[in-house]
Amino acid sequence: MNSATVRNLLVRGMLAGLAAGLLALVVSYFLGEPSVDAAIAFEEAHAHGGDHGEELVTRTMQSTAGLSTGVLVYGVAFGGIAALAYCFALGRIGRFGPRSSALLLAVAGLVAVYVVPFLKYPAQPPAVGDPDTVGQRTALYFLMVLLSVLLAVATVILGKRLAPRLGNWNATIAAAAFFVLAVGLAYVFLPSHDSVPEQFPADVLWEFRLATLAVQVTLWTVFGLVFGVLAERVLVPRAAAAAEQAGRAAPVPH
């Protein structure tokens, strides 16, 4: 794949990430913000001292302009990184077309980058938990993300190595079993860390975690669908497309 194609896919990946970010923003605002407000209200009700000083950024600003900026910037950056991963994976994961490869990448990315770490270290609302453990919790989470991505890559490599001897179906099952086993071992050996207070409302916590999962599912799904269409326009030869269109337009002989 030449540099011009990679550049075109990178730009289209960022555009697809922006589109995905717009829809993820809607989901985040309507599903996530109510639970964030409830979490902040809980923290304020149980805070000691009462005086927290002057608020530099209002909650309204955080939930509108701040949320929009964060999600959209994240979407563009996410789309660019995913497009580069797509360029690397294209042709190495099987004989899939541009759209199928984009959807496969989106599903694999959602599982490896978010779902697997989420099951070990689920999200918790802001302003909840011991602030002294934020650094440790963040480090553990990103360590789990790194392990999950590396195991996903190793799973693909293992599946391709086993396919000539076991066949595609059996190789896929064996590779998936390896991934599940390796992730299970990581779950066992990595320390657990739950700093949510016992008196924190369980329904608010559950709604917040479902909302974060919905945002990620929206982000990855929309990206896979939109980027698949945009990538196909770049990767499918224009000459073949023009020939096909000319063939359709040719008059039918009588």
Task: Flag whether 254 is in a domain.
Answer: no
From CA 17, how far away is CA 74, in angstroms rounded? 8
Count of CB atoms situated within 10 Å of the CB of 66: 14
In b/e form, how buried is each residue of 219-247, taking b as 16+ CB within 10 angstroms? bbbbbbbbbbebbbebbeeeeeeeeeeee
Q: Does residue 173 sit in the same domain as residue 232?
A: no
List all residues 6 or more positions away from 18 whose beta carbon is below 8 Å from its beta carbon.
Answer: 72, 75, 76, 79
Q: Does residue 232 sit in the same domain as residue 136?
A: no
> Where does a domain end: 170, 195, 220?
195
What pLDDT band is residue 184 in, cutting at 50, 70 and 90? very high
What pLDDT band is residue 216 in, cutting at 50, 70 and 90? very high
Task: Flag whether 146 is in a domain.
Answer: yes
pLDDT of residue 63: 65
Measuring CA to CA, how many Å separate 197 from each of 46, 48, 82, 194, 232?
Answer: 11, 15, 36, 9, 49
What pLDDT band is residue 243 in, cutting at 50, 70 and 90? very low
Task: Flag whether 54 is in a domain.
Answer: no
Q: Does residue 190 sit in the same domain as residue 230?
A: no
What pLDDT band is residue 242 in, cutting at 50, 70 and 90? very low
Task: Flag whether 253 is in a domain.
Answer: no
Q: Does residue 83 sit in the same domain as residue 191?
A: no
What pLDDT band is residue 253 in, cutting at 50, 70 and 90? low
Number of H helices, E strands in the chain: 10, 0
Q: Is the pLDDT of residue 127 over 70?
A: no
The residue that leads in pLDDT, 52 or 230, is: 230
**Quick one: what percent of the chain has pLDDT higher than 90?**
43
Count of domains for the chain: 2
Q: Does residue 174 sit in the same domain as residue 205?
A: no
Domain that includes residue 139, residue range: 132-195
pLDDT of residue 131: 67
Element (H, E) at 81: helix 67-89
pLDDT of residue 247: 55
Q: According to the per-residue pLDDT averaged within each range, which of 122-131, 164-173, 235-244 is highest?
A: 164-173
Task: Flag whether 55 is in a domain.
Answer: no
Q: Is the pLDDT of residue 191 over 50?
A: yes
Task: Flag whether 191 is in a domain.
Answer: yes
Quick: pLDDT tens for 22-76. Answer: 999 999 888 888 888 777 777 767 665 544 555 556 766 776 777 888 889 999 9
From CA 87, how far away is CA 83, in angstroms rounded? 6
Task: Flag whether 231 is in a domain.
Answer: yes
Q: Does residue 39 sit in the same domain as residue 70?
A: yes
> Where does a domain end: 162, 179, 195?
195
Q: Does residue 165 sit in the same domain as residue 221?
A: no
Q: Does residue 92 sit in the same domain as residue 190?
A: no
Q: Does residue 116 sit in the same domain as residue 137?
A: no
**Quick one: what percent of the chain has pLDDT higher than 70?**
82
> Where does a domain end: 160, 180, 195?
195
Question: What's the rounded mean pLDDT across residues 149-162?
Answer: 91
Q: Does residue 80 sit in the same domain as residue 33?
A: yes
Task: Flag whether 53 is in a domain.
Answer: no
Q: Does residue 18 sit in the same domain as residue 97?
A: yes
Question: What's the rounded mean pLDDT across residues 125-139?
Answer: 74
Q: Does residue 154 sit in the same domain as residue 210?
A: no
